[in-house]
Structure 1
Amino acid sequence: MARISLAPRRTLFLRLTEWYTRRRYGKALDPLRALGHNRRVLFTDLRLEMSVARWKALDTDLKALATMASAASIGCSWCMDFGHWENRTRGMDARKVRDVPVWRDSDVYSPLERDVMEYAEAMTANPPEVTDELTGRLLAALGEEAFVELTAMVAVENLRSRINAALGLTSQGFKDHCEIPAAARSATGTAA
């Protein structure tokens, strides 16, 4: 259960934000409701997310694996739930999305994907445990621009996951929409 009310004062800004997220995701997002208790924090968070969405130097799947590995390390069930839905919706391999929490034991990842998740976990550790060897491999594979974006994405996910985990936000059931077989989705009109 959330540690903060998810029913902040219903300002025009909050109502517009909820309307947008309902249109885009099918429901109002709990993190936005929680941040809605402080309009400036909510506004800053939305501006950050809009800016991050425009970063394009790093491959989308690598970005997803990095953010989900960070969320799994922190234990943010809301982020894992939403990340599963978001990445399955855009067509990412279901096995790769599902196996992120146990990536070391899974055979579905390339060496680069493994390095990206190892880097995300190393950055997320407190204190960070990033090594020169791992950084060197990633720089060689990605180049400096994409490597900087990877580093920033992990930092952004740490912000998201730590806020959500500290506020006690848990799954909103996004992942459940991905588990409905395709035939059932088309029969019910539900998008995954």
Structure 2
Amino acid sequence: MSRISLDPPRNLRYRIATWLMRRKFGAELDPARAMGHHMGVATGYGILEAQALGWKAVPHRLKDLAVMASAVRIGCSWCVDFGSWESTTHGVPLEKLEAVPHWRDSDLFDEEERLVMEYAEAMTADPPEVTDELTAALRRFLSERQLVELTMMIALENLRSRFNAAAGLTGQGFKDRCEIPARPPEGTVAR
């Protein structure tokens, strides 16, 4: 059960936002429903998210793995659920996303991906545990511009995850949308 009501006042701005969410995601997002009690907060946050969509210096797969590593570290089940769906739309295999909680023991990730997840976890720690050595290792793969974008993306996920976890939000079934359907028995035709 959420700690903030998911039934905000249905004023005109909220109804417009709801229409846009349903159109883009097929559902009202619970974080937006919680923020709907304060449309100034919801609007400011929405502008930040809209701007983040235009950040294109870092490949989606790296940002998605960083976001997932941060969400897992914080324990935001809503973010893991939504992030799984969103990342698969960017082409990240679900198998990789499910391995993020134990990425250090998995052979699914290359060196660059491992450094990105390590950086995300180090940024998400309280207090942050980012070291000069870790940053130098990332610079072998990322330009300064990319490092700034990755850092801000992880900071944005910390904002998301901490709000959602504090609000008590849990998954909305987005991950179920990215499950690969079972293969039909041999000799049958899939429809």
TM > 0.5 between the two?
A: yes
Written as runs of structure 1 = structure 2, the 5 A alignment for 1:1-192 is 1-181=1-181
Distance 1:155-1:37 versus aligned 2 partners, 3 A rule: same
- In structure 1, how many angstroms separate the alpha carbons of the residues matched to 2:27 and 2:168? 19
Structure 2: which 5+ runs fail to align?
Answer: 185-189
* Structure 1 position 174, deviation (Å): 0.4
- For 1:142 and 1:158, the matched residues in 2 are separated by 21
1:90: how far off? 2.8
Q: Number of matched residues? A: 186
The answer to whether the 8 A contact 2:61-2:90 is kept is no
TM-score (norm 2): 0.93
Between structures 1 and 2, the one with greater helix share: 1
Larger Rg: 2
- Is the 2:61–2:91 Cα contact (8 Å) retained in structure 1? no
Unaligned runs of 5+ residues in structure 1 are 188-192
CA RMSD in angstroms, aligned pairs only: 1.5
Distance 2:145 2:151 in 1: 10
> Structure 1 3/117 Cα, relative in aligned 2: closer, same or farther at 3 Å?
same
Partner of 1:190: none
Give how far 1:95 is off: 1.6
* Structure 1 residue 180 displacement after superposition: 4.9
Superposition misfits of 4+ residues, deviation over 4 angstroms: none
For residues 73 and 95 of structure 2, what CA distance do their matches in structure 1 show?
A: 19
Distance in 2 between residues matched to 1:25 and 1:127, nearest whole Å: 34
Residue 182 to residue 15, structure 1, CA distance change in 2 (3 Å): farther
Quick check: 2:94–2:178 contact (8 Å CA) kept in 1?
Answer: no
TM, length-normalised to structure 1: 0.93
